[in-house]
């Protein structure tokens, strides 16, 4: 039952990440600032960034299909994997939104949004560390 809920949430998060990527792509300038040093700003082409992000998003979401029922019979592991891909999709949604905001012409205090980005990375780390801890806990309980 939980796996079915995670599959539905994964599918919605994948659609949301794709919609967010398309929305941000539409608002980006031709040259996108990806890194800013004290003196230099590094730019990349909007199309290159879009297709790279699309490929990365597709590869991570294909993991769900690679670990199918035949390859991985453990429902618990597949549930955890769906949750991991959901957390990656959340990170991409936040990251793409930040990139679009950073490259917009609006004035924004970026120090106020840093905790959101770090929280999404923390969510990925917690979810990744959670699987071994749960496995150890379940192995030691009768």
pLDDT one-digit tens code per residue, 40-93 = 888 999 999 999 999 999 999 998 888 777 778 788 888 999 999 999 999 999
Contacts 24+ apart (CB under 8 A), 121-126: 121/91, 123/87, 123/90, 123/91, 124/84, 124/87, 124/88, 124/91
End-to-end CA distance of the chain: 23
The whole-angstrom separation of Cα 74 and Cα 138 is: 14
55: helix, coil or strand?
helix
- Tokens 């969510």 belong to which residue? 123
Nearest residue to 59 via CA among 96, 22, 17? 17
pLDDT level of residue 140 (50, 70, 90 thresholds) = low
Query: pLDDT value at position 48?
Result: 94
Q: Six-digit token pair at 125?
A: 């780390």
Q: What is the pLDDT of residue 61?
A: 93
Q: What is the pTM of this model?
A: 0.87
74 by DSSP, 3-state: which?
coil
């Amino acid at each position: 039952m939980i796996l079915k809920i995670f599959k539905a949430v994964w599918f919605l998060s994948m659609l949301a990440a794709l919609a967010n990527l398309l929305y941000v792509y539409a608002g980006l300038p031709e040259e996108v600032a990806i890194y800013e040093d004290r003196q230099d700003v590094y730019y990349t082409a909007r199309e290159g960034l879009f297709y790279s992000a699309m490929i990365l998003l597709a590869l991570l979401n294909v993991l769900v299909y690679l670990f199918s029922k035949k390859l991985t019979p453990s429902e618990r592991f597949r549930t955890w994997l769906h949750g991991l891909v959901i957390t990656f999709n959340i990170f991409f949604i936040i990251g793409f939104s930040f990139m679009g905001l950073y490259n917009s012409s609006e004035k924004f205090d970026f120090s106020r949004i840093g905790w959101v980005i770090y929280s999404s990375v923390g969510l990925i780390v917690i979810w990744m560390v959670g699987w071994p801890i749960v496995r150890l806990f379940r192995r030691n309980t009768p």
